[in-house]
Amino acid sequence: MIGSMSKLFCGTNVLDISSPVVMGILNLTPDSFYDGGKYITVEIQLKQVEKMLIEGASIIDLGAVSTRPGAIGVDESTEIERLLPSIKSIAKHFPGCIISVDTYRQNVARVAVEHGASMINDIYGGRFDKGMLETVASLHVPYIMMHMKGTPANMQDNPVYSDVVAEVVFFFEKQLQQCHNKGVRQVIIDPGFGFGKTLEQNFELLTHLEEFRSLGIPILAGVSRKSMINKTLKIHASEALNGTSVLNTIALLKGADILRVHDVKEAIEAIRLVKMLG
């Protein structure tokens, strides 16, 4: 039954989220907004995975399709071709690693789990591929359900809400019912910072992040080096580590269970410091 959980069952691994954990981002794309093209070869990917695991990451999130604002999608076969060598290599070299795959296609999700992934991260929250929820249910893996208005190609074209917090909460209420109906038992919600939200709407969501606790579902916060930092401070993503740490700290104080980040060490430090507050 969907509800409050302190453990996620990820294949043969059990992840304790009774206190916050870190998901490290590994983009396999040539065009991601911050690190596109940086991790193209499997050898470089394995070095980065090792670094993130040593620094304290509990999950490694692989993305083979850029979802930055204005991004153009790639076809399913290209996505699988990018993912499989990485999944297989990571599973072989780091057998205890929990691999999440950032995909909105059911076939990609199935192939990824068959080859070593044990978590699915869907930016469309089950709305792109109508078979996604049934597939995730059959795979028995945790499912990260994100909110996005529109698509990556058009999501920042004047997104309008009457009440962004209430509308995103309502979206999750509706989709969680769908998850329940389809048999998905482990769900994490992601408000989708930067996905179809203005600068002000992003901060409104962060300000009221604790309101999502009423859903009884673990919360993932993904603010790492995003435009809500860069536009506010008038800096480039490469300069946004300090701003990321500040917003990660706020997210933790407001109840985030998982921090999805490019920089694991600093996120772990934020978690340790916030824990000292009691």
Query: Which residue's entry shows tokens 């990451």?
Result: 57
Tokens coding 177: 């019912």
d(CA 216, CA 214): 5
Write the DSSP assignment of 10-45 as a string of letters.
Answer: ETTEEEE-SS-EEEEEEE--S--TTTTTSS-SHHHH
Q: Is 225 part of the annotated catalytic residue set?
A: no
Tokens coding 159: 């997104």
Q: Which of 197, 260, 265, 272 is catalytic?
A: 260
Q: Which of 226, 231, 234, 265 is catalytic?
A: 226
Q: Is 226 part of the annotated catalytic residue set?
A: yes
Positions marked catalytic = 226, 260
